Amino acid sequence: MTCLQPAVRGTEFAIDLSEKRRRRTICRLDGGAGSDENLRWLLKRGYHIIAKGFSGKRAHTLAAKVQRWDAYHDRCFLGTVASPVDFGRPVQLMVKKWYHRGKWKHSYFVTTLRFSSKQAFMRRYDLRGGAEIEQFRADKSGLHLSARRKRSFQAQRAIILLTDLTHNLLADFRRRALDDSLFSQWGLKRIVRDLLAVPGRLYFDRSQLNRIELSETHPYAHNLLICLEKYVTGAFGE
């Protein structure tokens, strides 16, 4: 909620998003950043938006005003309503309702774009990046980021930075070593829990790793050795 504006300003500076370019740029936001203040700020700066609204209470209120619901997926429906908020530019509001555990749930979406149908709008919204799954959620489960907490701000910041470094190293290892292997479809959690936990011994010579031995009885040992040899050869040469 609070980091959106400085993040957008930093992006504008990094890739030279002039006012002309901003008018041809779409900001796609999840509900966590979809406050009225943030949406007004983006629209004032010239961006187009396709965003999920922040307020669950407002979503329920808007759902009661929908005149027609169209099916989207099983037990999921879409409807349009007029915006109760002045965002400074014309927008369209879409309300979504779905049945979950015996209750109807609601959310709402705001966009400056035009779509041929409600379904086309929702398909466009769903074409989001996968960072929250591929990195954030994987780091929380695979690298136990959510389980590590420090009272000191700087200590917690160090943990997050170390987790980012670990994430990047594992991503590189997965690409260089595990592609075209038995483990190519494994996620971060399984790589840490099952693959990198294979018992073995590391042999060093003057702080340099020069030999790896894995337990012959482990079912992944043989294939992992092939991957490690591929990784070392590709990263450091023969």
Q: Are 14 and 120 within one domain?
A: yes
Enter the tokens of residue 163.
């987790």
Q: Are 92 and 158 within one domain?
A: no
Q: Are 103 and 151 within one domain?
A: no
Kindly list the distances between the CA atom of residue 228 and the CA atoms of 1, 128, 219, 220, 233, in Å, as whole numbers in the listed order.
42, 34, 15, 12, 8
100, HSE (Cβ side, Cα atoms, 13 Å): 8
Query: What is the SS3 assignment for 153-194?
Result: HHHHHHHHHHHHHHHHHHHHHHHHHHCCCCCCCCCHHHHHHH
55, HSE (Cβ side, Cα atoms, 13 Å): 15
Nearest CA among 109, 72, 69, 78 for reference residue 91: 109
Spatial CB neighbours of 85, under 8 Å, sequence gap ≥ 6: 36
| Whole-number Å distance between alpha carbons of 76 and 83 | 21
Number of domains comprising the chain: 2
Q: Are 13 and 123 within one domain?
A: yes
Q: Are 143 and 227 within one domain?
A: yes
**96 DSSP β-pair partners:** 78, 107
Q: Are 45 and 109 within one domain?
A: yes
Nearest CA among 43, 51, 3, 1 for reference residue 23: 43
Task: Among 128, 143, 159, identify where a domain stops.
Answer: 128
Q: Are 48 and 156 within one domain?
A: no
Rounded to two decimals, the pTM is: 0.60
Q: Are 163 and 225 within one domain?
A: yes
Q: What are phi and psi of 222, to 5 degrees?
A: -60, -50
Note down the domain range covering 78: 4-128
pLDDT string in tens for the chain (238-residue length):
789 999 999 999 999 999 999 999 999 998 889 999 999 999 999 999 999 999 889 999 999 999 999 998 878 999 999 999 999 999 999 999 999 889 999 999 999 999 999 999 998 888 766 555 555 566 666 676 666 677 888 988 888 888 888 888 888 898 899 988 989 888 888 898 899 899 999 899 988 888 889 999 999 999 999 999 888 887 555 4
Length of the chain: 238
| Whole-number Å distance between alpha carbons of 213 and 162 | 27
Q: Are 8 and 101 within one domain?
A: yes
Task: Among 88, 106, 128, identify where a domain stops.
Answer: 128
Q: Are 112 and 140 within one domain?
A: no
Q: Are 137 and 232 within one domain?
A: yes
User: Can you say how many angstroms the Cα of residue 97 is from the centroid of all Cα atoms in its chain?
Assistant: 23
Q: Are 143 and 224 within one domain?
A: yes
Task: Among 128, 148, 179, identify where a domain stops.
Answer: 128
Q: Are residues 138 and 188 in contact, defined by beta-carbon separation less than 8 angstroms?
A: yes
**230 DSSP β-pair partners:** none
